Amino acid sequence: MIRVREIAEWLGCTCEGDGEREIAGVADLESAGHDEVAFVGNRKAAQTALASAAGCLLVTPEFVNTAGRTVIRTKDPRGAFARLLHRFHPVEAPPAGVHATAVIGEGVELGDGVSIGPRAVVGDGAKIGAGSVIGAGCVVGKRVTIGAGSRLHANVTIYDDVDIGERAVLHAGCVIGADGFGFVMEKGRWEKFPQVGRVRIGDDCEIGANATVDRAALGVTWIGDGVKIDNMVHVGHNCRIGNHVVVAAQTGFSGAVVVEDYAVIGGQVGIGDKARIESRAVLGSGCGVLTSKVIRSGEVVWGTPARPLKEILEQLANVAKLPEMRKELLELKQQVARLLEEG
């Protein structure tokens, strides 16, 4: 249990109402009880917030507290709520040490407090930073570097010569460093183009379950700091993903795509070879970016081929008018036919 005023102090915010109220957890507005905190994230939530049974509400400075509720005021209620979630539901780390069934290669360097789970395999010359967790069934290749505080959930596979930064989170089943899809036609058959490059992943990245990041054919496939990649995303060889990019599920990047810092990419987006997504661009779900296409900085696009959202919405509005236009055209044709008969 923790008092409201203590939560406010920990968040660096101010509170109103019963600062001595004890809080046991967090919940959403609809289900929160008298000993739980909920957050008010938008205008719709603000309209129903005062009827919530929550013991404390995280609200914006502008929130009108007509009912005298116990509140904590913050510029970012959702962000503050996320921090509280971590406090009330900390991620449990397994005990440090190497499980008896794990296989550790020669010349491996393990930092302080590293945990390696059952049947994990760590290849020769790998370096795993302090406090990192290697889950059950993971395979870490030769000469792989994993920064401090990182976590690999069960059955992650990291091929040889991959570098992963600090505090990375790799979810179950993701594969880092597999060969890129590179083939050349020779004498009527496809021959493999050797994929001899590397993968480098920055600090504070999170890669979802069953996602894949291919190694470069030559050079490096690069994932910047703070990148968040959802489940079942594919990053092709020689891509360069900038810092703090967000990518939703089932998106596919072809080879040599460049994505600049803070871009936002929706689910099921397809991006062709050598396309460039400039900083802070937004790609709506399901859109398709053609080979070598450039999406300009800050632009919001949608559709296939991807076009500015305003243009797409105008086209959709015109399509919605087609039945009425067809009816008008038929009436005009009938009028013309009558005039011809009369003439």
What single string gives the DSSP state of each residue in 305-335? TTEEHHHHHHHHHHHHTHHHHHHHHHHHHHH
β-strand partners of 168: none
- Backbone torsions φ then ψ of 80, nearest 5 degrees: -65, -40
Per the CB < 8 A criterion, the answer to whether 126 and 105 are in contact is: yes
Q: How far apart are CA 281 and CA 279, in angstroms?
A: 6
Q: How far apart are CA 187 and CA 197, in angstroms?
A: 26
Q: How far apart are CA 154 and CA 62, in angstroms?
A: 45
The CA R_g of the chain, rounded to the nearest whole Å, is 27
Per the CB < 8 A criterion, the answer to whether 29 and 45 are in contact is: yes
- 237 part of the active site: yes
Which entry of 153, 171, 234, 237 is annotated as an active-site residue? 237
Tens-level pLDDT at each residue, the chain (343 residues): 899 999 999 999 999 999 999 999 999 999 999 999 999 988 888 888 888 999 999 999 999 888 889 999 999 999 999 999 999 998 888 999 999 999 999 999 999 999 999 999 999 999 999 999 999 999 999 999 999 999 999 999 999 999 999 999 999 999 999 999 999 999 999 999 999 999 999 999 999 999 999 999 999 999 999 999 999 999 999 999 999 999 999 999 999 999 999 999 999 999 999 999 999 999 999 999 999 999 999 999 999 999 998 888 888 788 888 888 888 888 888 888 888 887 6
Q: Using alpha carbons only, what angle is made at residue 86 by residues 111 and 172, rounded to the nearest 5 degrees? A: 60
- Can you tell me whether residue 99 is helix, strand or coil? coil
As to burial, measured by CB atoms within 10 angstroms (0-12 exposed, 13-18 middle, 19+ buried), residue 50 is middle
Residue with tokens 């891509």: 239
* pTM of the predicted model as reported, rounded to 2 decimal places: 0.84
